[in-house]
Amino acid sequence: LALSTSVAFAISYSLLALPIARFSDRGLQKHVIMASIAVWSSMTFLMGTVQNLGQLAASRFGVALGEAGILPASHSLVSAEFQMAKIARVISILWIGGFLGAASAPLIGGMAADSFGWRGAFMLMGGLSLLLLPVTFLVLRQPAIRGTADTKTASREASSSWVHDVRTLFGQRTFLLLWSGSALLLAAPNANLLYAGPFLIRTFDLSPATAGVYLGFAFGAPLICGTLFGGWLFDRLRRRSLSLALIVPGISVSVGGLVAIYGWWSDDALTATLCLSSANTLFGLITASIYATAQLLAPSNMKSTAAATFNLGMALFGASIGPLLTGYLSDSFAASTGIRSLGYGLTVTTIVTIVGAVMIIIAGSGASYDIRGAKPVSA
């Protein structure tokens, strides 16, 4: 289940984001966003026409290719368009759009499938997504790279190698520690998304419908509220210290992890759901903080690359290891622990997330002395 639903898409999505981010950092954010919308919409439409598994896989890869350019380019664009004092709030709003889309997709897609069949549903959603292209063209502005003294300087900065950019970013202690911590941070949230439902059904003998209601309560509003509040809190705390703005959400995630572990070992479904809801609220506090700090640390001609690099770490480690580790441990403990085996797997995965949060707290301890992203760095 973990291999088929989480790992393949997450890895391909993040690896593709790196070369696309390079184009975005050349001052092509708007073009990258429009091209990404065109590709993923077209590939979604084509998924309704597939005739075999190979065509389905190719279409799925095409969707990943389209989606890969959106996050790095959008983060780079908003960091150029909005004051850095508001960057976390803006990024949190971007993430809410993703949450709402993920939450509404099963409902809208299900209604479309009932009316037109699954092929018709893909064609309808892909066709409607293409309508975003003229809106994007009319609404978005293409910002200039800040801080370039002349055209030759801008060209030299844009043509710097990917290796040079990565060395520049990871040469900062805060960036390295923040990347390492965030790579582990997604272990529990991604495992929870995949396995919380089966956990409630197996452990407490809930029906799928009842478990779905509980999960809606645990994941919907908590993640949205936590992410929005986290963006506001980061911008607020950063007025005093960037270190404080990272340490506080890092502590929040650590506490959220402990609350989640208590829920995995509770004796009733309501307690487990309340614990998961509280944990998701606390987990949400750090989302905007991570990406906002990446934008603050990155030179202005490397901001898309910075966002894509964080995506790569999260996909290769957190988003992949979390579901895989949980599934492996659940299978390993099934014979000896029975219906509680998923609780063991989810507990260990949550500990991995807590370790990531501790690394972010450590990163925050020196973050105030490591910001140098206002000026482009040339090779």
Q: What is the pLDDT of residue 353?
A: 96
Kindly state the average pLDDT of the residues 257-276: 96
What letter would DSSP give residue 146? T
189 contact partners, CB below 8 Å, separation of at least 6: 280, 283, 318, 322, 353
Kindly state the average pLDDT of the residues 369-375: 51
Residue 378: pLDDT above 50? no
Q: Output the pTM of the full model.
A: 0.82
Kindly state the average pLDDT of the residues 211-217: 87
Q: Which of 229, 219, 276, 277 shows the shortest CA–CA distance to 249? A: 229
Residue 378 lies in a domain: no
Q: What is the pLDDT of residue 148?
A: 45
Q: What is the pLDDT of residue 106?
A: 64
Residue 132 lies in a domain: yes
Q: Please, what is the average pLDDT of the chain?
A: 85
Kindly state the average pLDDT of the residues 233-243: 93
Which tens digit of pLDDT belongs to each residue from 110-148? 788 888 888 998 999 999 889 989 988 888 888 765 544
Torsion, Cα of 86, 90, 92, 93 (10° steps): 140
Kindly state the average pLDDT of the residues 340-361: 95
Kindly state the average pLDDT of the residues 69-75: 87
Residue 363 lies in a domain: yes
Give the helix ranges, DSSP H, for the chain.
Answer: 2, 8-24, 29-47, 53-68, 70-81, 87-130, 132-139, 151-158, 162-170, 173-185, 187-204, 208-238, 242-264, 269-284, 287-297, 303-313, 320-337, 341-365
Residue 315 lies in a domain: yes
> CA 95, CA 318: separation in Å to the nearest integer?
18
Instruction: Write out the residue range of the structural domain in which residue 116 sits.
Output: 2-139+147-369
DSSP 3-state of 231:
helix
Higher pLDDT pick, 259 / 116: 259
Contact present, 183 and 14 (Cβ < 8 Å): no
Residue 284: pLDDT above 90? yes
Residue 375 lies in a domain: no
Which tens digit of pLDDT belongs to each residue from 7-35? 556 667 777 888 888 888 887 888 999 99
Residue 374 lies in a domain: no
> CA 3, CA 305: separation in Å to the nearest integer?
27
Q: What is the pLDDT of residue 188?
A: 93
Residue 243: pLDDT above 80? yes
CB-side neighbour CA atoms (13 Å) of 58: 9
Give the CATH number, domain containing residue 134: 1.20.1250.20
Q: What is the pLDDT of residue 9?
A: 65
Residue 2: pLDDT above 60? no
Which tens digit of pLDDT belongs to each residue from 161-177? 778 888 889 989 899 99
Residue 367: pLDDT above 70? yes
Q: Which of 325, 176, 198, 335 shows the shortest CA–CA distance to 269? A: 198
Residue 94 lies in a domain: yes
C-alpha distances out from residue 356 to 22, 185, 270, 378, Å: 27, 5, 28, 32
Residue 32 lies in a domain: yes
Kindly state the average pLDDT of the residues 338-361: 93
Number of domains composing the chain: 1
